[in-house]
Amino acid sequence: MDKFVIKTPRSRQAAEADAEESRQIKTRRLKTDNNSSNEAQDDSTSDEPNDSPTQPSSKKLSGINLDCDYIQLFSKKEADDLYKRCERELEYNTGRLAQVQIFGKWHNIPRQQVAHGDEGLTYTFSNNCIPAKPWTPLLMEIRDKISHFTGHKFNFVLINRYKDGNDHMGEHQDDEKDLVPTAPIASLSLGQPRDFVFRHAGSRGKKARQYVPPVTVELQHGSLLMMNYPTNVHWYHSLPKRKKAHFPRINMTFREMVV
């Protein structure tokens, strides 16, 4: 069985991270490359590196009200092909749809973004309402593969493209009222591996009620992170800046929106 490694962030990492993350605090890190070991429960039957699309390995990530499954869903070749098709076919939002409003002022988001989904669905964050573009054959193919594997249906996908480690996503909860509250969010990563950090809601800020170590997962090319209920109710998540990440990454979060 694999093990979580509990360690203090290296000073270089801390310097690269967002301001909150740079505090010298202990964090749990789930090692996700095929050769590492960690404390998470490993549901796979073999220690061999996974290159088979039919037998993805799965690791359970759990903690206080934290329930996630990390799965290497696509082989390297499959993930390479999907990444190339995404780069050829996806068109990201521009103008107001690529901005957020904070204290009445519009700012460009530090990444590219687009949403696709069933007709009429929208996604609202930071005072901006993003309409879903129609599903494309590529996105339906990915959605259906994830649905087949997980047994969950999704009617919406939010896609973020990070050109390098400077692009990032700040700490937030996916708690929009449009989301079916108990439905899982399926997060597919393609391209540059990046750290994804969970922080317990009660451990944030000056009024922190309790100390729960943050949990960091490096999301690999072709991996799927299932964020199951009630993770999103109790934990925030972010994709911090990483200076050593030089290549683009595409993330798709498949969601079930209220209809």
If binding is defined by CB under 6 A, does position 146 make contact with ligand AKG? no
Task: Candidates 150, 228, 231, 253: give the one binding ligand AKG (CB under 6 A).
Answer: 253
Answer yes or no whether residue 171 interacts with ligand AKG by CB under 6 A. no
Residue selected from 73, 121, 158, 226 as contacting ligand AKG according to rule CB under 6 A:
158
CB of 257 to ligand AKG, least distance (A): 13
Among 68, 114, 169, 190, binds ligand AKG (CB under 6 A): 169
Q: Find out whether the peptide bond into 137 is cis, omega within 30 degrees of 0.
A: no
Contact between 174 and ligand AKG by CB under 6 A: the answer reads: yes
Q: What are the two backbone dihedrals, phi and then psi, of residue 177, each rounded to the nearest 5 degrees?
A: -70, -20
Residues in the chain: 259
Q: Is 160 in the site for ligand AKG (CB under 6 A)?
A: yes
Is 251 one of the binding residues for ligand AKG (CB under 6 A)?
yes
Containing 194, the helix (H) or strand (E) segment is strand 194-200
- Residue burial 136-168, b: 16+ Cβ < 10 Å; e: rest: eeebeebbebbeebbebebbbbbbbbbeebebb
Residue 7, token pair as written in the block? 């360690």
* Span 213-232, contacts to ligand AKG by CB under 6 A: 219
Q: At what angle do helices 137-150 and 76-89 cross, to 10 degrees?
A: 140
Q: Which residue is nearest to ligand AKG (CB)?
A: 251
The CB-of-15 to ligand AKG minimum distance in angstroms stands at 21
Q: Establish if 250 lies at the interface with ligand AKG (CB under 6 A).
A: no
Torsion, Cα 240 241 245 251, to 10 degrees, reads 50
- Could you give the CA distance from residue 117 to residue 139 in angstroms, rounded to a whole number? 9
Consecutive H or E run containing 49: none
Element at 79 (helix H, strand E): helix 76-89
What number of chain residues touch ligand AKG (CB under 6 A)? 11
- 3-class DSSP assignment, residue 189: strand
Which CB atom, from 169 or from 245, has the smaller least distance to ligand AKG? 169
CA distance 20 to 121: 34
d(CA 143, CA 154): 7
Query: Per CB under 6 A, does 70 bind ligand AKG?
Result: no
Among 27, 38, 187, 231, binds ligand AKG (CB under 6 A): 187
Task: Give the nearest distance from C-beta 187 to ligand AKG in angstroms.
Answer: 6
User: Which lies closer to ligand AKG via its Cβ, residue 104 or residue 190?
Assistant: 190
Provide the mask over 6-45, with x wherever binding to ligand AKG is found by CB under 6 A and - wherever it is not. ----------------------------------------
Binding site for ligand AKG (CB under 6 A): 158, 160, 169, 174, 187, 196, 219, 237, 239, 251, 253
